[in-house]
Amino acid sequence: MWHLARTPFRVTRHGEPISLLPLNQTVNTGVRYSAIVPGLVPEIEERDAGRFNGYTWHEWRTLHYAERVDNIAYYRLSRLIDMHKEDAVATETRRKSRLPAR
């Protein structure tokens, strides 16, 4: 059942909003970064989002706030989709490795 989405993308996995589903196969890399000011997007993530969306850092910094927000949301969702794809592949690979050989 859909609740009000915060983004217009409405991406699902097995019929459920992808942002609400946990990943089955995860690896803790230990890599962490945070914003200098709590509540803001870390600069490294802004730079990655800008590059992902085809902007140079200079171009990114000249975008209006709403454009940057939309681009960061798209970047985060794209990363989440990739993680769920990798999760599905890892789950299937693991399932197949448990099957008896024919």
Rounded to 5 degrees, φ, ψ at 16 are -110, 150
- What's the pLDDT at 1? 43
Tell me: pLDDT of 71 over 90: yes
Instruction: Name residue, tokens 């989440």.
Output: 80
* pLDDT tens readout for residues 79-91: 999 999 999 999 8
Domain ranges of the chain: 42-102
Tell me: pLDDT of 68 over 90: yes
DSSP string, 51-88: HHTT--HHHHHHS-HHHHHHHHHHHHHHHHHHHHHHHH
* pLDDT tens readout for residues 12-66: 998 889 988 898 888 888 999 899 998 899 999 999 999 999 999 999 999 999 9
Q: CA–CA separation, 51 vs 57, rounded Å?
A: 8
Confidence bin at 10 (pLDDT 50/70/90): confident
